[in-house]
Amino acid sequence: MRSNGDIEVIGVDVGGTKILAGRVYGGRMTANHKTLVPGGGSENDVVRALFEAIDKVFDKDISGIGVGVPSVVDIKTGIVYDVQNIPSWKKVYLKDILEHRYGIPVYINNDANCFAAGEKYFGEGQNHENFAAVIIGTGMAAGMIIHNKLYNGSNCGAGEFGTMPYLEHNFEYYCSGQFFKNVHQMDGATVFRQAADGNPDAIALFEELGGHLGNAINAILYAIDPEVIILGGSVSKAYTFFKTSMWESIRKLAYSTVVNNLTIKLSSNPDIAVLGAAGLFFDAIGEIK
């Protein structure tokens, strides 16, 4: 069996405003091309933009394509539903469209699951069999690797811990960038700059967020008991400001052995979105680095 370093694939990160396609080989992105999503464009307009991005990095040695989208995905059929910030993409047969054009296997999943796959095959999760990869940015979402495989659930809905009820709302309301706006009517980027300058009030806000995030991590621990949790997303860049309060909440877990064995890591690869999409290919064929 070949390792994933011997196979060349394309990973595609589809966002609301841009599409980034990258050629992945040897554990890194060797070429990339970014295309803007046509604002207000039709379904076909956006598909053509996707073709443009992929065409720029495609060659005869590519074995497969993985695509990450911020939406609900039918994993088996590759149908993408209701993509965030792309109004025209209501029901897109994306797997069929891409396989017809390029003649190679295509795998599609949501962006949180791609994040988990990226960490498994190219990042902080390479040496771990069971972990949760949690994105804390403008929202909160997670992907899970269980027994070295991406776990999607029956409807691609596994790992949506951010939507679990918590206090008056849900975890996402208190554990992502939304916390600063929702609870304190402040901009998260501004709070981060103030905290970096040593402002005690700003640091206190991050400590408050950390307490909530620790409670969310406890919910993850009770649900799937991973050996590692990997944090990514823009808010994770402020880890030093909320680390202590987060762990204070985690230590309230009923099972001290679970807490003592838990490791929390920070995602460190800036190309993880594209690498994660590429990781869908390796997850599907069962390649372990």
DSSP code, position 165: E
pLDDT at position 287 is 57
What is the pLDDT of the chain when averaged over all its residues?
A: 94
110 pLDDT more than 90: yes
The bridge status of strand 165-166 relative to strand 169-170 is: antiparallel
Could you tell me if 220 and 281 lie in one domain? no
Q: Which of 60-69, 264-273, 279-288 has the lowest mean pLDDT?
A: 279-288
- Is-contact 121 4, C-beta < 8 A? yes
What percentage of the chain has pLDDT greater than the value 90?
Answer: 89
Summarize pLDDT for 22-51 with one digit per residue, the tens: 999 998 999 999 999 997 899 999 999 999
Q: Is position 275 within any domain?
A: yes
120 in a structural domain:
no
pLDDT grade for 286, boundaries at 50, 70 and 90: confident
Two tokens, residue 42: 């039709």
Backbone φ and ψ for 36, nearest 5 degrees, come out as -75, 140
Helix H or strand E encompassing 93? strand 91-93
> Is the residue at 254 inside a domain?
yes
Count of structural domains within the chain:
2
Q: Do 245 and 131 share a structural domain?
A: yes
pLDDT at 154: 87
Residue 17 within a domain: yes
Domain span holding position 189:
127-266
**Residue 185: predicted pLDDT:** 95
Measuring CA to CA, how many Å separate 168 from each of 64, 172, 173, 182?
A: 44, 11, 9, 12
Of 7-11, 152-156, 224-228, the one with minimum mean pLDDT is: 152-156
Same domain, 261 and 280: no
**Predicted confidence (pLDDT) at residue 67 exceeds the cutoff of 60:** yes
Query: Could you report the per-residue pLDDT of 125-142, keeping only the tens digit for each?
Result: 999 999 999 999 989 999
pLDDT tens digit string along 231-256? 999 999 999 999 999 999 999 999 99
Domain contains 70: yes
CA torsion sign for 41, 47, 48, 54 is positive
Q: What is the pLDDT of residue 289?
A: 43
CATH number at 200 reads 3.30.420.40
Predicted confidence at residue 210, as pLDDT, reads 98
What pLDDT does 19 receive? 96
State the pLDDT confidence band at 6, using cuts at 50, 70 and 90: confident
Does residue 4 register a pLDDT over 70? no
In a domain, 122, yes or no: no
